[in-house]
A and B are shown apart, each in its own frame.
Chain A
Amino acid sequence: MVTAIPFPFARIVTTAVVVAAVVLFGMLVDNAFVITLAGYTFAFSLFALSINVMLGGLGEVPLGQCVFFGIGAYGAAIGMVTLKLPFEVALLLSMAASVVAAALIGMLTLKLTGAYFSIVSWGLSGVAMVAALNLPDLTGGPLGMFGFPPITLLGIPLSEPRAYFFACAGLLAGAVLLMAAVRDSRFGAAIESVRQNPHLARSVGVDVFRERLKAFTLSAPLAALAGALCVPYTQIVTPEVFSVSNTVDALLMVLLGGSRLAVGPIIGALIFSIIPYFFDMDPNVRVLVFSGAIILVMMFAPGGLHQMAQALVRRFSGGAR
């Protein structure tokens, strides 16, 4: 396991500083737009975490991970508008649906690896988009679904910027802790062995396909949660949620922050939304700049920015370990 900070003490201090910064940010910033955007960034970070289960965990590039994001978004929308369910129930149902979908899709496709998995995964998201466009009774067709009732989560009004921010931050923190626990578990070790050398893993008794399926099934509800949590911000769900550009955004976040670090995707997500906000970037310029950055990162530091930072720290602290 690779960690950026070697001492538990330093890790505790860092965690405390980060938590304090988030709480202060949520209390002190008054600009409703900024704080809503920050909440949305945290919600979308959950999607990046989901992608990282596949990318950092299994070493696969899941171009179609937006299928589960879309299931979450459409699940929340259909649950609230068509079935008149409360948001919490719709959220849980769509996460459950994403688990079932992941188990089915995984059983079919996880035998494939590398580019073949990426292509088929992308293809399934294409099928999902065609289906969303062509089933207007279920999904509202090309126009999508909108006109939601005021959304609350366990009594917290998500339409209120500050409440939305803290709800997303809390859920993200929970997800990060869960992911860290998973990574330190036996299952996490099995996954790591599968990523590094599937043949060796199998020779010592790891059921490679089963572990891959478990990781895939774990990644799906995270993406669905992200999809549902983005609904209070976007206020509309269109077939575009199944577009590959949705996956690309999250993939860029993971690669920027570094796939080997538990909070790497979140660091990437912050970079991905803060820099364009300050430079007032068009979304296309954003994709251009960050895709270019990814090519450079892959050429010169395949571990992401966090690996670069680590190398710098090591150089300045003079540590030759």
Chain B
Amino acid sequence: MALLLQTLINGVVVGAGYAVIAVGLTLVFGILHLVNFAHGAFFALGAYAVLLSISVGVPYLLALPLAVGMVAVIGFATETLVIRRSLYGVGNNGSIIVTFALAQVFMALLLLVFGPNPLPVSAPFGQTSLSLGNVVVAAQRVFILVVSATVLAGFGLWLARSVKGQQILAVAQNPKGALYSGINVPLIRSLSFVLGVSAAGLAGGLLAPIITAFPTMGNNSLITSFIVVILGGMGSISGAMLGALLIGVANALFETYASVSWTPALGWVMVIAILLFAPQGLRGKAQLHRY
């Protein structure tokens, strides 16, 4: 019983981290109708930005928002220089190729600057952990849970209550109608892209103390967030949160009771099953391209 409880808690905590990355991915898909294969690269950039800030003496708690800012700037530059110019009118696989190539560029740059080896990122919580009865959770993981929940709740409120948030939702529903109503659609698209990749950067900074920073870390996180987003339904923000928790718990259960080394395959099998039998996911609209 204690083992099951510990496993479930671990799953929820890991899922909270997934939720932040996945919400970014699903936001970009919902607004720009762009499947951003470079999303994982921004996750890695976030982790390395934290690493860089710490190495020049900035404390972790300050390095984290600083890293999100850096990723936001890189994201804005990417949107303005590449995405905006090449995405529209290139057709379906054009955007896959461009965003995928962007990911390769960022990954190769990280490899060249920082080398291929995993680099440790120190966080103030170090090795301390909290215990509640029989359940033990590392302090950094509790921090991740708190920050993720706060950011996601704040983002949800902002989306529902603020004018900009409502404009984002309007552009997602009907870009032309939004344009006719006087909403600055290019600005909203740019804002959504920057928000989306900044979420990935935040998640990178949050998870780096646990998983260390390495150049290909983006691939794993991209794959995880695809799994989460497809499970939740492409473009649905509440679906992404739900999917993240489900995947986190499912992975933890599989790791504990089945096999650690086969766990990476589990998510893929789930995604393939979902795409084949329930392609709109948990909360998505049926808009999948199929024959």
Partners in one complex: yes
| Interface set of A (CB-CB < 8 Å, partner B) | 55, 59-61, 63, 108-109, 111-116, 118-120, 122-124, 126-127, 130-131, 133-134, 198, 202, 208-209, 212, 244, 248, 251-252, 255, 282, 284-285, 287-288, 291-292, 294-295, 298-299, 302
Q: Using Cβ atoms and an 8 Å threshold, which residues of chain B touch A59?
A: 92-93
A123 closest partner in B (C-beta)? B268
Q: Does B105 contact A (CB under 8 A)?
A: yes
Q: Say yes or no: B104 contacts A61, CB within 8 Å.
A: no
CA distance A55 to B92 in the complex (A): 12
Q: Say yes or no: A288 contacts B109, CB within 8 Å.
A: yes
Q: Which of B44-100 touch A at CB < 8 Å? A: 82, 85-86, 90, 92-98, 100
- A-B pairs with the 9 shortest C-beta distances? A115-B35, A288-B108, A123-B268, A291-B104, A299-B86, A291-B101, A113-B289, A130-B265, A294-B101
Q: Which of B98-124 touch A at CB < 8 Å? A: 98, 100-102, 104-105, 107-109, 111-112
Q: Say yes or no: B104 contacts A298, CB within 8 Å.
A: no
Given A120-B275, A130-B265 in contact, is the A299-B93 Cβ separation under 8 Å?
Answer: no
Q: Which of B212-265 touch A at CB < 8 Å? A: 219, 223, 226-227, 230, 261-262, 264-265
Q: Using Cβ atoms and an 8 Å threshold, which residues of chain B touch A299?
A: 82, 85-86, 98
CA distance A291 to B38 in the complex (A): 12
Least distance between A33 CB and chain B CB atoms (Å): 25
CA distance A285 to B94 in the complex (A): 23
Q: Say yes or no: A115 contacts B272, CB within 8 Å.
A: no
B107 closest partner in A (C-beta)? A287
Q: Say yes or no: B92 contacts A298, CB within 8 Å.
A: no
5 more contacts with CB within 8 A, not counting A61-B100, A299-B98, are: A60-B93, A108-B272, A109-B275, A118-B96, A295-B82
Least distance between A72 CB and chain B CB atoms (Å): 21
Q: Using Cβ atoms and an 8 Å threshold, which residues of chain B touch A202?
A: 291
Total A-B pairs, Cβ < 8 A:
128
Given A126-B264, A298-B101, A302-B90 in contact, is the A285-B290 Cβ separation under 8 Å?
Answer: no
Q: Using Cβ atoms and an 8 Å threshold, which residues of chain A touch B96?
A: 61, 114-115, 118
Q: How many residues of B contact A (CB 8 A)?
A: 44
Name A120's contact: one of B97, B112, B272 (CB within 8 Å).
Answer: B272
CA distance A111 to B102 in the complex (A): 28
Q: Say yes or no: A112 contacts B275, CB within 8 Å.
A: yes
CA distance A212 to B289 in the complex (A): 15
Least distance between B116 CB and chain A CB atoms (Å): 8
CA distance A234 to B150 in the complex (A): 51
Q: Does B1 contact A (CB under 8 A)?
A: no
Least distance between A57 CB and chain B CB atoms (Å): 12
Q: Which of B131-149 touch A at CB < 8 Å? A: none
Q: Does B19 contact A (CB under 8 A)?
A: no
CA distance A191 to B155 in the complex (A): 45
Given A111-B276, A114-B93 in contact, is the A298-B111 Cβ separation under 8 Å?
Answer: no
Q: Using Cβ atoms and an 8 Å threshold, which residues of chain B touch A284?
A: 108, 111-112
Q: Say yes or no: B92 contacts A255, CB within 8 Å.
A: no
Least distance between B95 CB and chain A CB atoms (Å): 8
Q: Does B271 contact A (CB under 8 A)?
A: yes
Q: Does B269 contact A (CB under 8 A)?
A: yes
Chain B 26-43 near chain A by CB (<8 Å), digits 1 or 0: 000000000101000000
Q: Using Cβ atoms and an 8 Å threshold, which residues of chain B touch A287?
A: 104, 107-108
Given A112-B275, A112-B289, A298-B90 in contact, is the A126-B265 Cβ separation under 8 Å?
Answer: yes
Q: Does B5 contact A (CB under 8 A)?
A: no
Least distance between B177 CB and chain A CB atoms (Å): 25
Least distance between A244 CB and chain B CB atoms (Å): 7
CA distance A24 to B264 in the complex (A): 49
Q: Say yes or no: A126 contacts B289, CB within 8 Å.
A: no
Q: Using Cβ atoms and an 8 Å threshold, which residues of chain B touch A123?
A: 223, 226-227, 267-268, 271-272
Q: Using Cβ atoms and an 8 Å threshold, which residues of chain B touch A127?
A: 265, 268-269
CA distance A55 to B109 in the complex (A): 27
CA distance A118 to B222 in the complex (A): 13
Q: Does B288 contact A (CB under 8 A)?
A: yes
Given A61-B93, A209-B291, A244-B219 in contact, is the A288-B275 Cβ separation under 8 Å?
Answer: no
Q: Which of B156-200 touch A at CB < 8 Å? A: none
Name B275's contact: one of A116, A208, A212 (CB within 8 Å).
Answer: A116
